[in-house]
Structure 1
Protein backbone atom coordinates (compact mmCIF):
# COMPACT_ATOMS: atom_id res chain seq x y z
CA UNK A 1 0.00 0.00 0.00
CA UNK A 2 1.47 3.36 -0.97
CA UNK A 3 1.29 6.53 1.07
CA UNK A 4 -1.35 7.92 -1.34
CA UNK A 5 -3.93 5.19 -0.67
CA UNK A 6 -6.93 6.38 1.30
CA UNK A 7 -10.39 5.11 2.09
CA UNK A 8 -13.08 5.40 -0.54
CA UNK A 9 -14.48 8.91 -0.80
CA UNK A 10 -11.34 10.63 0.50
CA UNK A 11 -9.44 12.94 -1.83
CA UNK A 12 -5.90 13.66 -0.75
CA UNK A 13 -6.12 17.32 -1.80
CA UNK A 14 -8.86 17.86 0.82
CA UNK A 15 -7.32 15.62 3.51
CA UNK A 16 -6.73 17.21 6.91
CA UNK A 17 -5.31 15.80 10.17
CA UNK A 18 -6.75 16.98 13.47
CA UNK A 19 -5.69 16.27 17.05
CA UNK A 20 -7.96 17.20 19.95
CA UNK A 21 -7.68 16.71 23.69
CA UNK A 22 -10.73 15.09 25.25
CA UNK A 23 -12.24 15.30 28.73
CA UNK A 24 -13.06 11.75 29.67
CA UNK A 25 -12.45 9.17 32.32
CA UNK A 26 -14.46 6.47 30.56
CA UNK A 27 -12.38 4.98 27.75
CA UNK A 28 -15.25 2.62 26.88
CA UNK A 29 -17.47 5.56 25.91
CA UNK A 30 -14.67 6.99 23.75
CA UNK A 31 -14.26 3.64 21.97
CA UNK A 32 -18.00 3.54 21.25
CA UNK A 33 -17.85 7.10 19.89
CA UNK A 34 -14.84 6.21 17.72
CA UNK A 35 -16.75 3.28 16.23
CA UNK A 36 -19.55 5.70 15.33
CA UNK A 37 -17.14 8.29 13.90
CA UNK A 38 -15.35 5.60 11.88
CA UNK A 39 -18.54 5.04 9.86
CA UNK A 40 -18.58 8.58 8.44
CA UNK A 41 -18.14 8.78 4.67
CA UNK A 42 -15.04 10.82 3.97
CA UNK A 43 -13.18 9.79 7.12
CA UNK A 44 -9.70 8.40 6.49
CA UNK A 45 -8.60 7.40 9.99
CA UNK A 46 -9.42 7.86 13.66
CA UNK A 47 -7.33 6.94 16.71
CA UNK A 48 -7.39 7.60 20.45
CA UNK A 49 -4.39 7.85 22.78
CA UNK A 50 -5.82 7.00 26.20
CA UNK A 51 -2.63 7.99 28.07
CA UNK A 52 -2.83 11.61 26.90
CA UNK A 53 -6.58 11.66 26.08
CA UNK A 54 -5.86 12.73 22.49
CA UNK A 55 -8.19 12.01 19.60
CA UNK A 56 -6.52 12.01 16.17
CA UNK A 57 -8.66 12.09 13.04
CA UNK A 58 -7.87 12.43 9.36
CA UNK A 59 -10.72 13.25 6.99
CA UNK A 60 -11.73 14.82 3.70
CA UNK A 61 -12.83 18.31 4.79
CA UNK A 62 -15.10 18.68 1.75
CA UNK A 63 -17.31 15.87 3.16
CA UNK A 64 -16.71 15.75 6.92
CA UNK A 65 -16.10 18.57 9.38
CA UNK A 66 -15.17 18.95 13.01
CA UNK A 67 -18.75 19.78 14.00
CA UNK A 68 -19.93 16.38 12.75
CA UNK A 69 -17.24 14.66 14.81
CA UNK A 70 -18.16 16.72 17.90
CA UNK A 71 -21.82 15.69 17.49
CA UNK A 72 -20.83 12.01 17.41
CA UNK A 73 -18.68 12.49 20.53
CA UNK A 74 -21.48 14.37 22.30
CA UNK A 75 -23.91 11.55 21.54
CA UNK A 76 -21.81 9.35 23.86
CA UNK A 77 -21.14 12.05 26.46
CA UNK A 78 -17.53 12.66 25.43
CA UNK A 79 -16.47 16.32 25.46
CA UNK A 80 -13.55 18.19 23.98
CA UNK A 81 -11.27 19.83 26.55
CA UNK A 82 -12.39 23.36 27.41
CA UNK A 83 -8.89 24.86 27.73
CA UNK A 84 -8.07 28.02 25.80
CA UNK A 85 -5.48 26.30 23.57
CA UNK A 86 -7.86 23.51 22.57
CA UNK A 87 -10.61 26.07 21.96
CA UNK A 88 -8.30 28.16 19.76
CA UNK A 89 -7.25 25.11 17.72
CA UNK A 90 -10.86 23.98 17.40
CA UNK A 91 -12.00 27.33 16.00
CA UNK A 92 -9.04 27.41 13.60
CA UNK A 93 -9.82 23.87 12.43
CA UNK A 94 -13.45 24.81 11.80
CA UNK A 95 -12.40 27.86 9.77
CA UNK A 96 -10.03 25.81 7.61
CA UNK A 97 -12.62 23.02 7.16
CA UNK A 98 -15.20 25.53 5.93
CA UNK A 99 -12.66 27.12 3.59
CA UNK A 100 -11.77 23.73 2.06
CA UNK A 101 -15.45 22.87 1.63
CA UNK A 102 -16.19 26.22 -0.04
CA UNK A 103 -13.23 25.86 -2.39
CA UNK A 104 -14.23 22.31 -3.33
CA UNK A 105 -17.72 23.51 -4.33
CA UNK A 106 -16.52 26.63 -6.15
CA UNK A 107 -16.51 26.72 -9.96
CA UNK A 108 -13.50 28.66 -11.20
CA UNK A 109 -14.20 31.71 -13.34
CA UNK A 110 -11.92 33.72 -15.53
CA UNK A 111 -12.52 36.71 -17.77
CA UNK A 112 -9.81 35.32 -20.06
CA UNK A 113 -11.76 32.18 -20.81
CA UNK A 114 -12.98 31.71 -24.35
CA UNK A 115 -16.71 32.25 -24.86
CA UNK A 116 -18.82 29.15 -25.35
CA UNK A 117 -18.96 27.97 -28.94
CA UNK A 118 -22.23 28.29 -30.79
CA UNK A 119 -23.46 25.84 -33.36
CA UNK A 120 -23.98 28.54 -35.98
CA UNK A 121 -21.41 28.23 -38.73
CA UNK A 122 -19.80 31.35 -40.05
CA UNK A 123 -19.55 31.94 -43.77
Structure 2
Protein backbone atom coordinates (compact mmCIF):
# COMPACT_ATOMS: atom_id res chain seq x y z
CA UNK A 1 0.00 0.00 0.00
CA UNK A 2 2.77 2.44 0.89
CA UNK A 3 4.64 1.62 -2.27
CA UNK A 4 1.57 2.51 -4.35
CA UNK A 5 1.07 5.73 -2.38
CA UNK A 6 4.67 6.77 -2.92
CA UNK A 7 4.34 5.98 -6.62
CA UNK A 8 1.26 8.22 -6.85
CA UNK A 9 3.04 11.00 -4.99
CA UNK A 10 5.75 10.95 -7.66
CA UNK A 11 3.09 11.82 -10.25
CA UNK A 12 2.44 15.15 -8.51
CA UNK A 13 5.87 16.35 -9.61
CA UNK A 14 4.78 16.24 -13.25
CA UNK A 15 2.21 18.03 -15.37
CA UNK A 16 -1.40 16.78 -15.34
CA UNK A 17 -1.90 13.66 -17.44
CA UNK A 18 1.69 12.49 -17.02
CA UNK A 19 2.34 9.34 -15.02
CA UNK A 20 5.91 8.77 -13.94
CA UNK A 21 5.75 5.07 -14.79
CA UNK A 22 5.04 5.94 -18.46
CA UNK A 23 7.48 8.86 -18.68
CA UNK A 24 10.11 8.66 -21.41
CA UNK A 25 12.98 11.02 -22.19
CA UNK A 26 13.95 11.81 -25.76
CA UNK A 27 16.82 13.70 -27.38
CA UNK A 28 16.58 14.53 -31.08
CA UNK A 29 18.67 16.73 -33.33
CA UNK A 30 16.75 19.30 -35.42
CA UNK A 31 17.55 20.98 -38.73
CA UNK A 32 16.12 24.11 -40.38
CA UNK A 33 15.33 25.79 -37.06
CA UNK A 34 15.09 29.54 -37.48
CA UNK A 35 16.64 31.53 -34.62
CA UNK A 36 13.56 33.73 -34.16
CA UNK A 37 11.23 30.69 -34.08
CA UNK A 38 13.01 28.67 -31.37
CA UNK A 39 10.78 29.86 -28.52
CA UNK A 40 7.61 29.37 -30.58
CA UNK A 41 8.71 25.84 -31.47
CA UNK A 42 9.36 24.95 -27.82
CA UNK A 43 5.99 26.40 -26.78
CA UNK A 44 4.14 24.52 -29.53
CA UNK A 45 5.70 21.20 -28.45
CA UNK A 46 5.06 22.01 -24.78
CA UNK A 47 1.31 22.38 -25.51
CA UNK A 48 0.93 18.71 -26.48
CA UNK A 49 -1.08 16.67 -23.99
CA UNK A 50 1.19 14.37 -22.02
CA UNK A 51 4.31 16.50 -22.58
CA UNK A 52 6.21 17.09 -19.37
CA UNK A 53 9.42 18.95 -20.21
CA UNK A 54 10.82 20.57 -23.35
CA UNK A 55 14.26 22.17 -23.70
CA UNK A 56 15.97 23.34 -26.88
CA UNK A 57 19.77 23.55 -26.95
CA UNK A 58 20.38 26.10 -29.73
CA UNK A 59 24.17 25.71 -30.17
CA UNK A 60 23.78 21.96 -30.76
CA UNK A 61 20.32 22.24 -32.41
CA UNK A 62 19.09 19.50 -30.07
CA UNK A 63 15.61 19.16 -28.61
CA UNK A 64 15.28 17.42 -25.24
CA UNK A 65 11.76 16.42 -24.24
CA UNK A 66 9.99 14.13 -21.77
CA UNK A 67 6.47 12.84 -22.26
CA UNK A 68 3.99 10.20 -21.14
CA UNK A 69 4.18 7.57 -23.88
CA UNK A 70 0.56 6.52 -23.38
CA UNK A 71 -0.74 10.01 -24.29
CA UNK A 72 1.88 11.42 -26.62
CA UNK A 73 4.22 10.00 -29.23
CA UNK A 74 7.26 10.92 -31.28
CA UNK A 75 5.04 11.20 -34.38
CA UNK A 76 2.89 13.89 -32.71
CA UNK A 77 6.02 15.83 -31.74
CA UNK A 78 7.37 15.48 -35.26
CA UNK A 79 4.11 16.82 -36.70
CA UNK A 80 4.27 19.93 -34.53
CA UNK A 81 7.92 20.48 -35.42
CA UNK A 82 7.17 20.17 -39.15
CA UNK A 83 4.31 22.70 -38.79
CA UNK A 84 6.83 25.13 -37.30
CA UNK A 85 9.11 24.77 -40.35
CA UNK A 86 11.79 22.55 -38.81
CA UNK A 87 12.39 18.81 -39.00
CA UNK A 88 14.33 16.01 -37.36
CA UNK A 89 17.84 15.30 -38.62
CA UNK A 90 17.95 12.61 -41.33
CA UNK A 91 21.32 11.05 -40.49
CA UNK A 92 21.48 7.29 -39.94
CA UNK A 93 21.77 7.63 -36.15
CA UNK A 94 18.75 9.94 -35.95
CA UNK A 95 16.72 7.58 -38.15
CA UNK A 96 17.73 4.64 -35.96
CA UNK A 97 16.74 6.51 -32.78
CA UNK A 98 13.40 7.54 -34.28
CA UNK A 99 12.51 3.97 -35.19
CA UNK A 100 13.55 2.73 -31.73
CA UNK A 101 11.58 5.50 -30.00
CA UNK A 102 8.50 4.62 -32.08
CA UNK A 103 8.85 0.96 -31.12
CA UNK A 104 9.11 1.81 -27.40
CA UNK A 105 6.15 4.22 -27.57
CA UNK A 106 3.95 1.62 -29.25
CA UNK A 107 5.06 -1.05 -26.79
CA UNK A 108 4.15 1.16 -23.83
CA UNK A 109 0.72 1.94 -25.33
CA UNK A 110 0.08 -1.76 -25.93
CA UNK A 111 1.13 -2.66 -22.39
CA UNK A 112 -1.15 0.02 -20.94
CA UNK A 113 -4.13 -1.37 -22.87
CA UNK A 114 -3.34 -5.02 -22.10
CA UNK A 115 -5.79 -6.76 -19.79
CA UNK A 116 -4.03 -9.58 -17.92
CA UNK A 117 -5.79 -12.85 -17.15
CA UNK A 118 -5.44 -15.12 -14.16
CA UNK A 119 -2.88 -17.87 -14.62
CA UNK A 120 -5.16 -20.67 -13.41
CA UNK A 121 -7.88 -20.01 -15.99
CA UNK A 122 -8.13 -21.28 -19.52
CA UNK A 123 -6.47 -18.78 -21.91
CA UNK A 124 -8.76 -16.51 -23.88
CA UNK A 125 -9.01 -17.17 -27.59
Q: What range is the shorter-chain TM-score in?
A: 0.7 to 0.9
**Structure 1 pair 25/77, CA: closer, same or farther in 2 (3 Å)?**
closer
Of residues 83, 103, 109, the one that matches 2:111 is 103
Task: Give the structure-1-normalised TM-score.
Answer: 0.84
User: Where in structure 1 are there 5+ consecutive unaligned residues?
Assistant: 114-123
Moved more, 39-48 or 21-30: 21-30
Structure number, greater radius of gyration: 1
**Structure 1 pair 25/46, CA: closer, same or farther in 2 (3 Å)?**
closer
Q: Between Structure 1 and Structure 2, how many residues are aligned?
A: 111
Q: Which runs of 4+ in 1 moved over 3 A?
A: none
How many angstroms apart in 1 are the aligned matches of 2:65 and 2:116? 30
User: Where in structure 2 are there 5+ consecutive unaligned residues?
Assistant: 1-8
Task: Give the structure-2-normalised TM-score.
Answer: 0.83
Quick check: 1:112 aligned with 2:82?
no
Q: CA deviation at 1:109?
A: 1.4
